[in-house]
Structure 1
Amino acid sequence: MLELDHIAVAGATLEEAARHVESALGCALGPGGRHDHMGTHNRLLGLGPDIYLEAIAVDPSAPRPAWPRWFRLDEFEGRPRLTNWIVRTGDLDAALAAAPEGAGVATALARGDFRWRMGIPADGRLPFDDAHPALIEWQGGLKPQDRLADVGIRLERLEVAHPNADALRDALPLYDPRVVIVAGSPAMRATFATPHGKRCLE
């Protein structure tokens, strides 16, 4: 069984990605950290007890890794935008075995006192033109949601569009009414309830 864990907004710089989120949602992002294995860094926003939002970009101060960065950040260009979604599982090996080809290889990662395993594609590209979620397994019982402040923002709908929507839907043992997979050109759109009313992020 998969559960929605977080959504990722990428930018050419972390500042641009964070500004895009803050402008859309009317709320300042909290701190994040660095991912030494991938040469990226992020800032986070809690969306309640179960999920969060991550603004992410290449860390210009970090060495370039010898492998492609996740979320195709090596290729990123253009405006900041919602690019990926991440689902958690209690058994990453089983989830990867059941996932479409290209969902990645289980990789152990750490940031501060967070420990997790994640399916990392060898080429940095997830199935279904990145419309398929990345798979994550938190270890040690601690995940970012447990520490992020509650600012009163909740995800109401995550719309994931792909031309092969039926095949993508069939590939996912995910039962979350907030996630809607629709036919269309690859794109993502999230709708939130905020203290300032309904807001959208693309």
Structure 2
Amino acid sequence: MLQRDHLTVIAPSLAEGVAHVRSCLDLDIPYGRAHDGMGTHNHLLRLGDDVYLEVIAVDPAAPPPGRPRWFGLDDSGLVRSNWDEGFRLRGWVARTTGIADMLARHGAILGEEVRLTGSGRSFSFAVPPGGALPLAGLAPSVIDRGGYPPSIAAMPELGARLRSFTVEHPQPEDVAALYERLGVENPPDIRRGERLRYRAMIETPAGLRELN
């Protein structure tokens, strides 16, 4: 089974990503950490007890990682064009406790296992060939934290809570079938739309706000 772990804003730079979240939610979310194995860095926002928001971008100060970066971040042109078109909440991550079995069944969609280290722990992440988002972001990226829960309790409490998470797609029935095939336990709500787009409704101290 796959469980929702976190939502991802994929940004051309952290400054742009943080500014977008501020404009949507009226919150300044704090810096998270650098990912030495991927040449990226992030800001993190707690959205409840078991889910959070990540703003991620290439770290210009980091050396090239020697492997494709995750979340399609090596394709800077595509990241920029999606950003400029207003597609900024572009993916999500689901967690599993059995990534080897998951990839044995669905590796053609989810990618290959990459072992990484962060916050003093090792974990596995599935990365498709070339680092692209799985099915252009329609399928979740998959993480296996080796039995450890995500470190949400260590994130500052800013009073933000995820109320709904929605995916729009021209063929919603195909999306539903995909999530069922992958064994997603709590998938996004699925609605018909002109193209793939995610929306999150988040309760903040300033009221209910949309992030997209």
The TM-score with structure 2 as length reference comes to 0.86
Matches within 5 A, 1:19-30: 19-30=19-30
Q: Is 2:144 the partner of 1:137?
A: yes
Distance between the aligned counterparts of 2:93 and 2:8, measured in 1?
8
Partner of 2:32: 32
Distance between the aligned counterparts of 1:11 and 1:152, measured in 2?
23
Secondary structure at the counterpart of residue 138 of structure 2: coil
Partner of 1:124: 131
Q: 141-150 vs 115-124, which deviates more? A: 141-150
For residue 9 of structure 1, report the CA deviation from its aligned partner: 0.6
Which has a greater percent of helix? 2
Distance between the aligned counterparts of 2:71 and 2:101, measured in 1?
22
Could you report, residue by residue, the CA deviation over 1:36-65 in whole angstroms, capped at 9, with x for unpaired residues?
A: 111111011111110110111010011223
Distance between the aligned counterparts of 1:153 and 1:27, measured in 2?
9
Pair 1:189–1:100, CA change in 2 (3 A): farther
Could you report, residue by residue, the CA deviation over 1:158-195 in whole angstroms, capped at 9, with x for unpaired residues?
A: 11123343233222222327x21233311111111112
Q: 167-176 vs 7-16, which deviates more? A: 167-176
Partner of 2:174: 167
Distance between the aligned counterparts of 2:100 and 2:147, measured in 1?
17
Q: 15-24 vs 155-164, which deviates more? A: 155-164
Residue identity over aligned pairs, in percent, reads 36
Q: Where does the alignment leave 5 or more consecutive residues of structure 2 unmatched?
A: none
Secondary structure at the counterpart of residue 175 of structure 2: helix
Distance between the aligned counterparts of 2:96 and 2:68, measured in 1?
24
Residue 186 of structure 1, aligned match among 185, 188, 196: 196
Task: Name the amino acid aligned to 2:191.
Answer: V
Pair 1:182–1:99, CA change in 2 (3 A): farther
For residue 129 of structure 1, report the CA deviation from its aligned partner: 2.1
Distance between the aligned counterparts of 2:146 and 2:89, measured in 1?
26
For residue 7 of structure 1, report the CA deviation from its aligned partner: 0.6
Distance between the aligned counterparts of 1:136 and 1:95, measured in 2?
11
Could you report, residue by residue, the CA deviation over 1:102-144 in whole angstroms, capped at 9, with x for unpaired residues?
A: 3111111112324321111122223332211001111252522
Secondary structure at the counterpart of residue 108 of structure 2: coil
Residue 113 of structure 2, aligned match among 102, 106, 113: 106
Partner of 1:88: 95
Q: Where does the alignment leave 5 or more consecutive residues of structure 1 unmatched?
A: none
8 Å CA contact retained: 1:102, 1:126: no
Q: 2-11 vs 122-131, which deviates more? A: 122-131
Q: 34-43 vs 90-99, which deviates more? A: 90-99
Distance between the aligned counterparts of 1:89 and 1:125, measured in 2?
20
* Moved >4 Å (runs of 4+): none
